[in-house]
Amino acid sequence: MLKRVFGLPLQSTSRRIFSQVTFRSMSEQAITTPVATPAVADSAKPQHPKNGKSKKSKLQVSLKTPKGTKDWSDTDMVIREAIFDTLSNLFKRHGGQTIDTPVFELREILAGKYGEDSKLIYNLEDQGGELTSLRYDLTVPFARFVAMNNIQNIKRYHIAKVYRRDQPAMTKGRMREFYQCDFDVAGAYESMVPDAEMLDIVVEGLTSLGINDFKIKLNHRKILDGIFQVAGVSDEDVRKISSAVDKLDKSPWDVVKKEMVVEKGQTEETADKIGEYVKLNGSLREVYDALTKDATISANEKAAEGLKEMESLMTYTEAFGIDKYVSFDLSLARGLDYYTGLIYECVTSASAAPENAAELKKKSKSSEDASEYVGVGSIAAGGRYDNLVNMFAQASGKKSAQIPCVGISFGVERIFSLIKQRINSADIKPIYTQVFVMAFGGGKDWTGYLPERMKVAKQLWDAGIETEYVYKAKANPRKQFEAAEKAGAPLAVILGKEEFAEGKLRIKRLGPEFADDDGELVDANDFVQIVQQKLSEVHEDGINEVTRLIKGL
């Protein structure tokens, strides 16, 4: 029997424990450590200490990450990698090919593309004659890539870090360095077909990450521009009025109206006319019907074009079965200057700031982190930008046909903050070990079977199975079980002294519910296939533990 061979009660040794090591974010607490450096000698009068030793000064170094950034480790990285895997698989399902671009771009490439948010771009020092800036998003670099390579059509995805010099809210996933996961389609296609697929990708992506209580707010820049024309906004003021309207999700109408009139020079009549429309929201059909019945809007050329496209979009969202997730919201403006058509952003109940945000901001003692008084914000956003590629091509002297583009971007850190709130990190192991190889025996001739364990582990690695063993020749049985428990391995392959000599291995499930199960004795030649079979039983429906937790299954 297994208990007799090991000489240990399995009840106490094979109990599965997900031991956790808490790595406190270095951005949460600065640790100051003195570092000795040579003193700089006084040029006028050399110093000669009495003891003959040179005098050293101490330099104080703050061991912290820069504002708005953090280190990632342990279970947090497991969750983030699961998000990346989920979204990259989604993008591949929709025909995406991946690219990568430099983390910094020529400053002129980024300049003038982000409206009022341009002030948030990180500019780098002149390095050898080129002015560069850290990329603010992945969309503008993609448009530059398409124009530079004269690409006529492409479905691309890109998962990479971007940088914004904004006020961080760390626990809400609003950071200065963060990942975006983008999917874009460039090329001329049937109107609104790629746009509808972007909305479906949002729904697929978020639901596959266990986020179901979300709404996709969408609007159309042509409709919005038509509303501004009807209200009397001049063409040169459209973008700055758009940025004011875009604040309606954070500020009441009277605050937005004041900005339009006092700060941006619009008349009270113009602001009130805009207010009649931008407060309108509802289902696609409801808002579409209301706008088509408005003779003033229907008569406007730009608005009429937008409404025609929205009519097509409704057909396609019904085909995808995603209407219930979509809201037509005329207050959505998206301040980025490059959008030309459909625009959208995805929000949840956690997106909005607390009702008493202003009061909380006054009471806040931290200038480093705004988490106390802001919300998560949008967790995914995007839209159509039909002129950006052509603008780059023309500016560089290239001959280029118009390359329409549409895309969606997922904010990983914001999504992470939502997932982190609803799962217990203690249920996630920070490593992926599936099998732990052990050996048990005794007597003066007992060597510990270390080379034999290594050979078994190698066979499992070659089969693609995550495997570990204790790095010690004669490993204590209890220590081996403890190591397996710490790794969270669901399965053990055991080399018993007498059994292995006869060409047999024992395969055992680990965990408290299997403490009294001795496992199955199998032929050493067949053990890999049996391990694979048992692991398929462990992962119900082929879904691993992390995916199951994130999806809320």
**Residues contributing to the annotated binding site for L-histidine:** 137-139, 164, 180, 184, 334, 338-339
- Which two three-digit tokens encode residue 437? 């190889």
Helices (H), 138-267: 139-148, 193-208, 221-231, 238-245, 253-258
CB 178 within 8 A of CB 162: yes
- Quickly list DSSP for 277-298: HHT-EE-HHHHHHHHHT-HHHH
In 310-420, beta strands by DSSP E: 326-329, 342-348, 380-384, 405-411
In 278-423, beta strands by DSSP E: 281-282, 326-329, 342-348, 380-384, 405-411
- Quickly list DSSP for 110-148: HTTSSGGGGGG--BPPP-SS--EEE-S-SHHHHHHHHHH
Q: Is 161 exposed, middle or buried (0-12, 13-18, 19+ CB in 10 A)?
A: middle
- Which two three-digit tokens encode residue 80? 């983030």
| Cα(61)–Cα(30) distance, integer angstroms | 10
**DSSP letter (8 states) at residue 26:** T
| Cα(511)–Cα(10) distance, integer angstroms | 10
| Cα(389)–Cα(405) distance, integer angstroms | 8
Distance set, CA 86 to CA 82, 206, 216, 550, 551 (Å): 6, 10, 20, 10, 11
Name the binding residues: 137-139, 164, 180, 184, 334, 338-339
Give CA 247 to chain center in angstroms: 24
- Which two three-digit tokens encode residue 474? 């004669």
- Name the nearest CA neighbour of 332 among 314, 356, 312, 306: 306
